């Protein structure tokens, strides 16, 4: 068996989600090879070569892959992936975009967001917003999987010494092009990688009030997230959304501030180690999953919390 | 420009699903069903394109059991012009759905295919992308803005780091995210009118698609339950518990 892991990166550095995906690959067993497809991304390939457990790195360095457009990535992964037993990518918005395209080109099904490797053919994944866990066995010749990062530990970033091999397959589609990007700039840690996450909901009332959460977050080195209600209301941008269709997080400590706890939100954070809820509504469903609940007005409690830290 | 919208009948999003006691699947007996929320957003976007004069016809397609006609009628009441049901009682995998949709696309030749980014039952988030691969069409997934301009469509996508805009040549596929629009409610006169709109029923065999399955469900289990913890009296107690009991601060 040999497994191809598609690296998540920004042409400069390897993204942490790749390390979790590599762990899932090693649990399946067999040689783990990593494909780095991008433009001017040789440094990423060198980084991937050092990850423990990686036996080879394929580097597809071409302008066609600069923005990892799904049309080009799908074709590339389908062509390179033919010889492998498994193809894995992180369940990020990039992996979710191109991997189903590659699977269809290979005429195989795909399993999304696996959270457990049962054996080389059998995997578990959440369905119905995490209200049920399906264990599914695949008879496809190539198993194509996206991996939920929070369900697997990160592989060690150092310790490996894989060879980097250049591949010169160029797939450049004329039907799509990159136009522009607006990326959130923040000095705080990434939501999916942070040890502490503090999230605000509709109870925050407006975007300006999130400043209170930023202050607490900066004292704790935490990331700041939000519920769908807060994002839909325009308080904060979409990349802060935690939930079934937003980001899935599982930090050491998750603090839900003014969040009622809709099942769609719980699906994104209930695997956190310790959950704190602050809400003035004693009946809010968030208290049913919180380890520590404080029934209080957040506008009193949050500044008090900031001072107590 | 013709727009094709794909919709799916799923469990109503307000219903919390239960796992069957024999762990064979989830229990959908007597559960309220509805149109998948992301599909509603796709229908709304198509109807808005028609209202703006960009789309000339909105065709809605669903694949599933006979009862899926209800969801097609809902889409017709929201403003779609006609419906197609690909009727089947089989359990469908994303690749099969994509093949069936490809068959519909070849017949209807739409310039734009709109569909939800995922359904809230299987949570797969695959079908639009797979349809793109099978038809060779470009894709704009997780859309929060769709602007049609001549033979192109610019799609702003919700990505992990923020927003990204891609330019796609038509015909293209767009999958909807939550903030693309806020779907309207169907008015009673429109619900009555929808009953007289055309709805064709076809079958996988008519589309020349063989129903195969490569995934078998071994078991379905409830997730590990989290039990409610304790209530603390004030912020001081909270900080104390986090520092000394949970040791996470």
B160-200: pLDDT as tens digits: 989 999 999 999 999 999 999 999 999 999 999 999 999 99
* Chain B residues 31-90 with CB within 8 Å of chain A: none
Total domains in chain A come to 2
Cβ contact, residue pair A175, B124, below 8 Å:
no
Distance from CA of A163 to the nearest CA of B (A): 30
Cβ contact, residue pair A292, B93, below 8 Å:
no
Minimal-distance CA residue of chain A relative to B214 = A139
Indicate if A19 and A116 belong to the same structural domain.
yes
**List of chain A residues whose C-beta atoms are within 8 Å of the C-beta of residue B128:** 100
Interface contact B29, partner A, CB < 8 A: no
Is A182 among the domain residues?
no
- Cα separation, A6 vs A68, in Å, equals 11
Is A183 among the domain residues?
no
Is A264 among the domain residues?
yes
Cβ contact, residue pair B239, A127, below 8 Å:
no
Pick from B141, B229, B236: which is nearest to A293 by CB?
B229
The full 3-state SS of chain B, as one line of letters, equals: CEEEEEECEEECCCCCCEECCCCCCEECCCCCEEECHHHHHHHHHHHHHHHCCCCCEEEEEEEECHHHHHHHHHHHHHCCCEEEEEECCCCCCHHHHHHHHHHHHHHHCCCEEEEECCCCCCCCCCHHHHHHHHHCCEEEEEEEEEEEECCEEEEEEEECCEEEEEEEECCEEEEECCCCCCCCCCCHHHHHHHCCCCEEEECCCCCCCCCCCCEEEEEEECCCCCCCCEEECCHHHHHHHHHHHCCCC
In sequence order, the β-bridge partners of residue A224 are: A198
Pick from A99, A138, A276: which is nearest to B214 by CB?
A138
Mean pLDDT of A279-297: 97
Contact present, A135 and B24 (Cβ < 8 Å) = no
Kindly report, residue by residue over A29-53, the tens digit of the pLDDT: 999 999 999 999 999 999 999 999 9
Minimal-distance CA residue of chain A relative to B117 = A245
Binning pLDDT at 50, 70 and 90, where does residue A184 land?
A: confident
**List of chain B residues whose C-beta atoms are within 8 Å of the C-beta of residue A174:** 169
Pick from B138, B179, B214: which is nearest to A109 by CB?
B214
Indicate if A21 and A91 belong to the same structural domain.
yes
- Residue B48 predicted with pLDDT over 90: yes
Q: Pairing between strand A132-138 and B215-221? A: antiparallel
Is A269 among the domain residues?
yes
Cβ contact, residue pair A107, B95, below 8 Å:
yes
- Residue B228 predicted with pLDDT over 90: no
Q: Which of A118, A151, A166 is the last residue of a domain?
A: A166
Is A216 among the domain residues?
yes
Q: State the pLDDT at residue A225.
A: 98
Is A180 among the domain residues?
no
User: What is the DSSP code string of A32-88?
Assistant: EEEEEEESS-HHHHHHHHTSTT--EEEEEE-GGGTT--HHHHHHHHHHHHTT-SEEE
Pick from B19, B129, B139: which is nearest to A132 by CB?
B19
Indicate if A100 and A226 belong to the same structural domain.
no
Distance from CA of A54 to the nearest CA of B (A): 26
Q: State the pLDDT at residue A1.
A: 85
Indicate if A15 and A158 belong to the same structural domain.
yes
- Cα separation, B29 vs B18, in Å, equals 10
- Residue B141 predicted with pLDDT over 90: yes
**List of chain A residues whose C-beta atoms are within 8 Å of the C-beta of residue B168:** 175-176
Minimal-distance CA residue of chain A relative to B154 = A179
A93 compared with B161, residue with greater pLDDT: A93
DSSP state of A190: P
Q: Which helix (H) or strand (E) holds A136?
A: strand A132-138
Distance from CA of A195 to the nearest CA of B (A): 9
Indicate if A44 and A151 belong to the same structural domain.
yes
Minimal-distance CA residue of chain B relative to A181 = B164
Distance from CA of B226 to the nearest CA of A (A): 6
- What is the per-residue burial (b if ≥16 Cβ within 10 Å, else e) of B172-196? bbbbbbbbbbebeebeeeeeeebee
Give the CATH number for residue A237: 3.40.50.1220
Indicate if A106 and A225 belong to the same structural domain.
no
Pick from A118, A182, A247: which is nearest to B160 by CB?
A247
Domain range spanning residue A290?
196-308
ipTM of the complex: 0.95
Substitution target in B238, B241, B244 with the highest count of A β-carbons within 10 Å is B238
Query: What phi and psi, each to the nearest 5 degrees, are found at residue A293?
Result: -115, 135
Q: State the pLDDT at residue A187.
A: 87
Indicate if A6 and A126 belong to the same structural domain.
yes
Cβ contact, residue pair A136, B218, below 8 Å:
yes
C-alpha to C-alpha distances, B75 to B18, B45, B55, B183, nearest whole angstrom: 28, 11, 16, 11
Distance from CA of B240 to the nearest CA of A (A): 10
Indicate if A229 and A162 belong to the same structural domain.
no
* Chain B residues 94-133 with CB within 8 Å of chain A: 94-95, 98, 117-118, 120-133
Indicate if A241 and A160 belong to the same structural domain.
no
Distance from CA of B76 to the nearest CA of A (A): 26
Q: State the pLDDT at residue A245.
A: 84
What is the largest distance, in Å, between two alpha-carbon atoms of chain B? Answer: 68
Q: State the pLDDT at residue B143.
A: 98
Pick from A102, A180, A304: which is nearest to B235 by CB?
A304
Classify A267 as helix, strand or coil.
helix
Q: Using omega within 30 degrees of 0 as the cis cutoff, is the peptide bond preceding B171 cis?
A: yes
- Residue B153 predicted with pLDDT over 90: yes
- Residue B225 predicted with pLDDT over 90: no
Is A43 among the domain residues?
yes
Substitution target in B22, B102, B123 with the highest count of A β-carbons within 10 Å is B123
Indicate if A100 and A218 belong to the same structural domain.
no
Contacts of residue A303, defined as CB under 8 A and 6 or more positions apart, other chains included, come to A212
Contact present, A260 and A284 (Cβ < 8 Å) = yes
Residue A153, burial from CB neighbour count under 10 angstroms (0-12, 13-18, 19+): exposed
Is A288 among the domain residues?
yes
C-alpha to C-alpha distances, A102 to A35, A79, A156, B62, B133, nearest whole angstrom: 14, 8, 28, 24, 7
Give the CATH number for residue A35: 3.40.50.620
Q: State the pLDDT at residue A244.
A: 87
Q: State the pLDDT at residue B169.
A: 98
CB pairs under 8 A between A and B: 255
**pTM, two decimal places:** 0.94
In the block, tokens 């919180």 appear at A290
Minimal-distance CA residue of chain B relative to A103 = B130
Pick from A139, A253, A304: which is nearest to B248 by CB?
A253
Distance from CA of B190 to the nearest CA of A (A): 28
Distance from CA of A203 to the nearest CA of B (A): 18
Indicate if A44 and A145 belong to the same structural domain.
yes
Q: State the pLDDT at residue B16.
A: 87
Indicate if A38 and A115 belong to the same structural domain.
yes
């Amino acid at each position: 068996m040999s497994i191809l892991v598609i690296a998540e990166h920004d042409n400069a550095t390897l993204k942490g989600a790749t390390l979790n995906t590599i762990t899932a690959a090693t649990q399946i067993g067999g040689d783990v090879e990593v494909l780095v497809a991008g433009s001017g991304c040789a440094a990423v390939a060198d980084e991937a070569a050092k990850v423990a457990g990686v036996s080879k790195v394929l580097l597809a360095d071409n302008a066609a892959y600069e923005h990892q457009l799904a049309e080009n990535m799908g074709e590339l992964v389908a062509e390179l992936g033919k010889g492998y037993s498994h193809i894995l990518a992180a369940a990020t918005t990039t992996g979710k975009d191109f991997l189903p395209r590659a699977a269809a080109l290979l005429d195989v099904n795909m399993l999304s967001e696996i959270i457990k490797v049962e054996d080389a053919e059998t995997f578990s994944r959440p369905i119905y917003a995490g209200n049920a866990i399906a264990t599914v066995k695949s008879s496809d010749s190539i198993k194509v999987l996206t991996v939920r990062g929070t369900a697997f530990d990160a592989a060690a970033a150092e310790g490996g010494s894989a060879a980097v091999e250049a591949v010169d397959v160029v797939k450049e589609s004329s039907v799509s092009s990159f136009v522009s990007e607006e990326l959130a700039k923040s000095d705080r840690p990434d939501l999916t990688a942070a040890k502490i996450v503090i999230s605000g909901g509709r109870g925050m009332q407006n975007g300006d009030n999130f400043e209170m959460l930023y202050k607490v977050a900066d004292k704790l080195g935490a990331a700041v997230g939000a519920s769908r209600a807060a994002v839909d209301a325009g308080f904060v941008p979409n990349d802060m959304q935690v939930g079934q269709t937003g980001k899935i997080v599982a930090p050491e400590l998750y603090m839900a501030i003014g969040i009622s706890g809709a099942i769609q939100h719980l699906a994104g954070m209930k695997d956190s180690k310790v959950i704190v809820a602050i809400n003035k509504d004693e009946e809010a469903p968030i208290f049913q999953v919180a380890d520590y609940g404080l029934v209080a007005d957040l506008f009193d409690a949050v500044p008090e919390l900031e001072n107590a830290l | 420009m013709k727009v094709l919208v794909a919709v799916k009948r799923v469990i109503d999003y307000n219903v919390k699903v239960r796992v069957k006691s024999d762990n064979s699947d989830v229990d959908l007996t007597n559960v309220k069903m509805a149109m998948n929320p992301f599909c509603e957003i796709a229908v709304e976007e198509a109807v808005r394109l028609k209202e703006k004069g960009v789309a000339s016809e909105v065709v809605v397609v669903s694949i599933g059991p006979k009862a899926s006609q209800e969801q097609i009628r809902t889409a017709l009441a929201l403003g779609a012009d006609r419906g197609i049901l690909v009727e089947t009682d089989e359990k469908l995998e994303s690749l099969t759905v994509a093949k069936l949709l490809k068959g519909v696309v070849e017949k209807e030749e739409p310039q734009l295919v709109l569909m939800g980014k995922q359904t809230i039952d299987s949570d797969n988030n695959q079908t639009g992308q797979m349809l793109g691969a099978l038809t060779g069409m470009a894709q704009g997934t997780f859309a929060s803005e769709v602007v049609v301009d001549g033979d192109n469509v610019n799609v702003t996508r919700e990505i992990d780091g923020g927003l990204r805009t891609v330019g796609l040549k038509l015909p293209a596929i767009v999958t909807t995210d939550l903030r693309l629009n806020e779907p309207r409610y169907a008015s009673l006169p429109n619900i009555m009118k929808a009953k007289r709109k055309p709805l064709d029923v076809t079958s996988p065999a008519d589309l020349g698609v063989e129903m195969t399955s490569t995934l078998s469900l071994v078991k379905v289990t409830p997730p590990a339950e989290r039990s409610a913890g304790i209530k603390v009296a004030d912020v001081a107690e909270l900080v104390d518990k986090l520092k000394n009991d949970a040791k996470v601060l």
